[in-house]
Amino acid sequence: MTMETSIKLFEEKQVRTHWDEKEQQWYFSIIDVIEVLTNSSNPRDYWFKMKLRVKTEDGLELSTICRQLKLKATDGKMRLTDVADTKTLLRIIQSIPSPQAEPFKQWLAKVGYERMQEIADPSQSIDRARENWQKLGRSEKWIQQRMTGQETRNKLTDYWQESGVEKGDEFALLTNIIHQEWTGLTVKKHKEIKGLKSQNLRDHMSEAELIFTALAELSTR
């Protein structure tokens, strides 16, 4: 079974999701995912027993890395449901002994191996980024502009760090100010116009947008 086939399983069966606007990330119903990957007739019981098993074997309390949100149940009522973000969900999938979960595990192992390669040889991350953009149908001119813009961005964030600006909220605040100055839009609003959620806005910019973004960040630095 391929990774693409596994993803189609999620498309064929309903997996309830919730988009957190503030955190800018998706949350997935854990019992829905378990039902898809195990075909269990009682996914709630499977999830309960799985938490006990993982705690015994790995000493990890899965409930502490999950959260609860109200999602619509089969009876139409909003009920508290265990949910997980993408990172946590992938950790949970690792503990599911099912053939349908195997492609996800293989993909995680591949990503982990590639990440170790990139740490040893950073140029590989650039090559992989170029390959991914090519798969998205981006032209060589666009790719070059995207990479040039990223270099400009890195120099700016390096300067911020040297000046004592903290990563996270402060970086996001300054980035938003710069973006709003040249576009008249917040980053959030710009993503909404393009129909984006968790995707990287710069990966969906036109060549002109990339040029003006780089110019704005260069001017700021």
Per-residue pLDDT at 76 = 80
Per-residue pLDDT at 43 = 92
Report d(CA 28, CA 169) in Å as an integer.
Answer: 25
Phi, then psi, of 34 in degrees rounded to 5:
-60, -40
**The tokens of 90 are what?**
């992938």
Long-range contacts for 53-59 (Cβ within 8 Å, ≥24 apart)? Answer: 53/95, 54/95, 58/95
Report d(CA 102, CA 94) in Å as an integer.
Answer: 8
Per-residue pLDDT at 7 = 46
Per-residue pLDDT at 205 = 95
Contact call for residues 188 and 198 (beta carbons, < 8 A): no
Tens digit of each residue's pLDDT, the chain (221 residues): 444 444 445 556 678 888 887 777 888 899 998 988 888 889 999 999 999 999 999 898 998 999 999 988 878 888 899 999 888 988 898 888 888 878 777 776 777 777 787 777 878 888 888 988 998 899 999 999 999 999 999 999 999 999 999 888 899 999 999 999 999 999 999 999 999 887 889 999 999 999 999 999 999 99
